[in-house]
Amino acid sequence: MFSYRHGFHAGNHADVLKHMVLVQVLEHLLHKDKPFWVIDTHAGGGVYDLTSGYATKSGEFESGIATLWPMRKDKSIPEAVRSLLKQVQALNEGDELKWYPGSPQIEAQMLREGDHLRLYELHPTEIKLLESHFDSVRRGVSIQHADGFAGLRGSLPPPPRRGLIHIDPPYEIKEDYRRVLQTLQDAVSRFSTGTYAIWYPEVARRESLQFPAQLKRLAGDMPKVDWLHATLRVKGAERDGVGLYGSGMFIINPPWTLYDRLAKALPWLVETIGQDDHAAYTLEAQQS
């Protein structure tokens, strides 16, 4: 149950998609001078060293964030990509790409005084890393060593009635797909105006292949709910069916600006970090 370590995958193509979307949602929430909460159900370790440990063993970041890093000062790249690179730059000094921010670090960097970040993490090693990382910057951040699926139920609705809920389990077990759907249905019934960002992997597994349709069906059954679905595939599936070849983000109550930003960023990412002729993207949305 606890074999998954995000450090192996930090900064890969899935993180690029996931964190690019999160930054866009947060930027939209920050436009209003009103406080909001961010709740991250599967926080991970918070920040990852790309120069040692797990990241160097897999090298996945090299075809993801490391490919984009030299372009961070290029004003011609899509705005959504540039905004993500700005958040990565905030954690690094000069031109060296040493640290990659997980979602908790990006969220903490972007939140203002008065906003609140609630982090859940169940993995016994990751929670220690998370607590250690945020030890000196706890104001506005609460960390719980708990199951984020269960914890979310008691956190909604947040007091300001504005918020982003990020649901990002490892999908190590088939049960994760079902729990995401159940948790999402319950959460929206409690906090219907929140923005929900659900990440999922594209792998050669029945649960993964069926998941987008299940999310759309669930959202379609909810009254007055808009949704946006984006995927980024960087290569074809391996013959043995093993490995992550793409990922998706499903957003409930997305910012109105998100579709147009992704419509520019996704084809550019396919060209820039795509690894073979199977690289592709999808982008679709539905308004209630």
The per-residue b/e assignment along 23-58, b for 16 or more CB within 10 angstroms, e otherwise, is bbbbbbbeeeeebbbbbbbbbbbbbbebeeebbeee
Domain count, the chain: 1
Q: Let me know if residue 1 belongs to a domain.
A: no
Query: In whole angstroms, what is the distance from residue 51 CA to residue 57 CA?
Result: 10
CA distance 51 to 62: 11
Give the pLDDT score at 56. 75
Q: Tell me whether residue 168 is one of the annotated catalytic residues.
A: yes
Regions of the chain with pLDDT less than 70: 1-5, 7, 53-54, 136-138, 239-242
pLDDT at site 108: 95
Q: What is the pLDDT of residue 256?
A: 96
Contact 43, 124 (CB under 8 A): no
Number of other CB atoms surrounding residue 124 within 10 Å = 9
pLDDT for the residue numbered 157: 96
pLDDT in the model for residue 135 = 83
Q: What is the CATH number of the domain that holds 172?
A: 3.40.50.150
pLDDT, residue 3, reads 40
Domain region containing 159? 6-286
pLDDT for 240 equals 65
Quick one: pLDDT at residue 243?
Answer: 84
Q: What is the pLDDT of residue 237?
A: 87
Q: pTM for the full model?
A: 0.95
Residue 134 lies in a domain: yes
Asked if residue 275 belongs to a domain, the reply is: yes
The DSSP bridge pattern shows strands 141-144 and 163-167 to be unpaired
The C-alpha atoms of residue 195 and residue 285 are separated, in whole angstroms, by: 14
Query: For residue 241, what pLDDT is reported?
Result: 61
Question: Annotated catalytic residue: which of 135, 168, 186, 221?
Answer: 168
Q: Are 45 and 133 in contact (CB under 8 A)?
A: yes
Contacts (Cβ under 8 Å, ≥6 apart) of 97? 50, 65, 66, 69, 88
Residue 276 token pair: 């073979």
